[in-house]
Structure 1
Amino acid sequence: MKNYIKPIVALFTVILTGCTDVIDVDVQTDTLRLVVEASLDWEKGTTGNDQEITLRTSTPFFDTQSTNVTGAEVTVTNNATGEVFRFTDQNDGTYTTSTFQPQLFATYTLEIVYNGERYVAEDTMNPVPNITDIYQDTEDGFDDEAIELHIVFTDFEDEGDNYLFKFERPQDLLPTLETGDDEFINGNEVDWWYEIDDDEDEEIKPLLPGDVVNISMHGISRSYFNYMDIVIDQIGGVGIFEATPVDVRGNCINTTNPDNYAHGYFRVTETNRVSYTVE
């Protein structure tokens, strides 16, 4: 038997060492742009003073070098009071402050000066209802054997409330994001449920006993709601009957050179954060 194994091993060695041709792949490139991660979230029960903004540049497909942006000037201004909050450069792409003053219904303006260009963005801080209950069952989802989580809250009486929900397990590569508004639920108690579909191809498992789910619920502006609707649709991937992903623009405008717009979004929200362990 050993006499047969040696020639076979030698043949595979020749085949593997002979495959040395370099294949050049043309990858579509785009202008390197500033990427803004500026989510100022005021978690209920905290002062909301400590906030962080991250700046980097977009990354070429095969580039592995750091794209963190340093040396920028970053401020956030309360448009009603004129109070300016300066974010300190930490020399690693993050800019921080410990003096931010969150104010519901206030509109804030982000200003970034980088490479001689000025970027601005604006958003309004909207309230979020209290979560009054979290429970699990198998009655309301698409799969009557799968566990779903239920988040219970009461929508505010005034119309025009918009929400972003984020569900995340430590073992999942990406969180699940969902948006909702009060068009059909205004002023009522809401039971928002969340279920994970079993996906063997993506190695995604449904909710199982012992799973820890980190949940955040944000009160968001309508403009951010519209933006996230498009982002969530793009995250869904491209199938044979789905639209081709498009360049999703945020609210960061380059006032010096409008064609050199930034990616990302500046948002200010009031936020609930809870963790739930599946039973």
Structure 2
Amino acid sequence: MKTYIKLAIISILISFTACTDVIDVEVQTAAARLTIEASLAWEKGTMGNEQTIKLSTSRPYFGSHTNSGVTGASVIVTNNADGATYVFEDQNNGDYTTTSFVPVLNGTYTLEVIYNNETYTATERLMPVVDIQDLTQSRKKGFNDEDLEVNIIFTDPEEEENFYLFKFRERDDLLPHLEDADDEFFNGNEISWYFEKEEDNSTDKIEAFVPGDIVDIEFYGISEQYSNFIRILIEQSGGTGLFSSTPVPLKGNCINVSNPDNYAYGYFRLTEMVKKSYTFQ
């Protein structure tokens, strides 16, 4: 009987082993493209002279390369009104920096990047932003009326169309949470914009804010064109769902004038911003 049982077990193991097939999945690849992270932000109360532009190349999702910083490029920003040029120095790690940038609200600037004998350009306006009047907390504005949320209070200018970007990061968190807004439905009014923690897609749980938690807040004025870009990017970064659009490569405003087919990823934006922190009570 014991011999029969042993033979049966061996037979089952052989059957499972024989049914194991190696499946090779062909993953789509694409040529590496230049990625331009040129977000020049002028924090209220500072000179705004120190700015950084990051250049890298796109990488395969399943690739093993960790450093894709681009070196040896030429990076220049020009004020279109007075012709002043600001050369961003290569730091040999993908960062290009300057300490002499002069920000002018509503001024128009042009970025020029020369890399691998190809020239990329983009033009954008430095968008202003209003001050944050107050930061408060509540439990009544979010999806869960028992959870704490922080409220950002500001007054939207009535005489113009405005677009905003909020960046929220709980202290010590790795990634921020981004939200975009425009004043189509609250033009000229005092606004209380709230932020509460969202459901964790990996655990389907919400870990609400508790007293003592600190949230760092950045509030930007942005152009309509950049608002359209960042809105799609936020939607795609949130993953796919029943009513979500299929993620696609997202083109920014950086144009390759030498070879249009070899377009770049990324965006050149200029913005005034307000930075605040809030500690929950």
TM-score by length of 1: 0.89
Paired letter, 1:252: C
Can you list the C-alpha shifts for 1:13-71, whole angstroms capped at 9, x where unaligned?
A: xxxxx9x9865332111121001111000000000000000000000233232211000
Q: How does 1:1-279 map to 2 (within 5 A)?
A: 24-65=24-65, 66-199=67-200, 201-202=202-203, 205-279=207-281
CA distance in structure 1 between the aligned counterparts of 2:256 and 2:21, rounded to whole angstroms: 44
CA change 1:81–1:216 in 2 (3 A) is same
Q: Give yes or no for contact 1:167–1:177 (8 Å, CA) kept in 2.
A: yes
Q: Give yes or no for contact 1:198–1:206 (8 Å, CA) kept in 2.
A: no
Moved more, 216-225 or 173-182: 173-182
Moved more, 233-242 or 203-212: 203-212
CA change 1:240–1:198 in 2 (3 A) is closer
CA distance in structure 2 between the aligned counterparts of 1:141 and 1:226, rounded to whole angstroms: 25
CA distance in structure 2 between the aligned counterparts of 1:34 and 1:70, rounded to whole angstroms: 11
Moved more, 195-204 or 269-278: 195-204
Q: Indicate the RMSD between aligned Cα atoms, in angstroms.
A: 2.4
CA distance in structure 1 between the aligned counterparts of 2:130 and 2:151, rounded to whole angstroms: 15
Paired letter, 2:124: D
Q: Give yes or no for contact 1:172–1:204 (8 Å, CA) kept in 2.
A: no
Paired letter, 2:79: N
- Percent identity of the aligned residues? 54
SS at match of 2:153: strand
Can you list the C-alpha shifts for 1:84-117, whole angstroms capped at 9, x where unaligned?
A: 0000000000000000000000011110000000
TM-score by length of 2: 0.89
Moved more, 48-57 or 156-165: 156-165
Can you list the C-alpha shifts for 1:186-215, whole angstroms capped at 9, x where unaligned?
A: 222111111213437346522222211110
SS at match of 2:127: coil
CA distance in structure 1 between the aligned counterparts of 2:216 and 2:147, rounded to whole angstroms: 18
Q: What displacement does 1:183 show?
A: 1.5
Can you list the C-alpha shifts for 1:109-157, whole angstroms capped at 9, x where unaligned?
A: 1100000000001111111101010000101111110111100011113
CA change 1:173–1:237 in 2 (3 A) is farther
CA distance in structure 2 between the aligned counterparts of 1:30 and 1:139, rounded to whole angstroms: 47
CA distance in structure 1 between the aligned counterparts of 2:152 and 2:207, rounded to whole angstroms: 21
CA distance in structure 1 between the aligned counterparts of 2:241 and 2:193, rounded to whole angstroms: 28
